[in-house]
Structure 1
Amino acid sequence: MGVALRDARRSVTSWCRRHTIGGDGAVAAARRGQRPGEPGTLSREEELELIDVLRGTYPDTFGLTDELWTRQSLAALVQRRFDRPLDATDLGAYLRAWGVGPREPRERACGLCVDAVERWVRVDYPAISRAAQEHGAEIYWIGRIRLRGTMPAADVISAVSARGRVRFMITTPSVDPPLPRDFLLRLSGEEGDPVHVIVDGSWPRGEWPRRLPARITLHPLPSCGRLTPP
């Protein structure tokens, strides 16, 4: 492959990864135009404080039972820290603003990869679904979103099951951060439940952890970073 073509492919890959990582996350208070003290809301300052508290931590850090952050554990932390109840609707608004929640496969692809993802859904995904059923495994879709409006910057790593269950964590981004091994182990749970994890273009294969337990199976969603060179 010539130098010009290789450089062009590298530029396309870089653009696609920025598109995937830099998507929808935003501080919810700014997006919703909330006023401090409204029922079921946090002020912008409280939300930023919450994000900092969540950064790099898991629920068990605070004596909560979930392996990864969920709506329930997030509600418990908000109640404990701010003495304010947030119901499922309120929490859902924050998580959607942060980029956490179900997304269609095509929404996880950059504009150049949509056709490949749609073919993958028709051809490859049914086999993954059958394998998960045979193993009694849960299917999760995992991705990363850059959360705008925070200082320092924050990435939201989330896994959404085929049944809509949400698990997430917040990290401080670094240069080309790998897919977190600990996140995958916690996704499987203390009981070691089998999981099939579909990884979007946030992480190319070279950034996947090696020698994972057999109960964790990773599947790449097509992305420009994984296209086979001619």
Structure 2
Amino acid sequence: MKDARYLSPKAQEAIRLRAVRAVLNGQSQTQVAQTFGVARGTISRWLKIYREKGEEALLAKPRGRPKGGKLKGWQAALICNLIRDRCPDQMKLPFALWTREAVGQLIERKFGIKLSVWTVGRYLRRWGFTPQKPLKRAYEQNPKEVKAWLEEEYPRIKQKAREEGAEIYWGDETGIRSDHQAGRSWAPKGETPVVEVSGKRFQFNMISAISNRGKMKFMIFGERFNAEIFIEFLRRLIRSNEKRKIFLIVDNHRVHHAKKVSKWVSRHKEEIEIFFLPKYSPELNPDEYLNQDVKTNAVGRRRSRTKEELMGNVRSYLMSTQRQPEIVKSYFRAPAVRYAM
């Protein structure tokens, strides 16, 4: 194969995209590097870019200085303040997120200056903004409970697991909807934006559990999440863990606290114990990052025509991820959950 460095920008873009997709679909980085004639370190770098900034960051960039007007200092300051303090819909713009297109329209509306998306992107990076995946954080969250969890409760659980030879898993359940929209919004570096979502088509549910050793278990189901389904998942989790005791950390969903579940767990206390995160604190659960991954890459980037097709896509994606422990481990590297590594 011709040295990739001497290919056209578009051809290089195609190689980057195909290489990343090949790794995500289960091939090893070494195999992919050999297939596309690049160094293994290059594949690792492309994967890092993809996970941090999304597929868009792998696309070819136009060469030369972008055409378009310039912003004066006071104009740039005003745009920065508007992006920090307001959402696009508050500015009467037809966007849910601060994308480059949304910022470009804001600039044109305010100052009559039309900029290309590339120029807008250059400005945003210069101003210290980065494209980020929006997260939701409940206002009901109690900071004192979160602090106690991080400094006292979780360290105790971790020590108890060592003493009993147990393995810690983090579990969560989520609804998968066919109308999920994947996207990133520009925001100041380190400040994650918030977005509300709506819409309804066909859907189903999944429950999963991951460990910081790279293990992952999951179950997909069509009915409403209830105590019977949760208990069935616990049975499967126990069977799959090679007779090693499990400490499962979950949120405060009412099903997790159901009497039927509590009685079942008490009868199997030699095999499993359940612990609960602080209320309204999904960002402390590493399994949330698996949920985001699935919704972004198995749902949001591939439209399904039927419920069965969507379930098949999600199941295939989860099985591929299950075979790649390093990807599962990467969910624990997000800043909010590094304490769980």
TM-score (norm 1): 0.47
Name the larger-Rg structure: 2
TM-score (norm 2): 0.33
- Structure with bigger helix share is 2
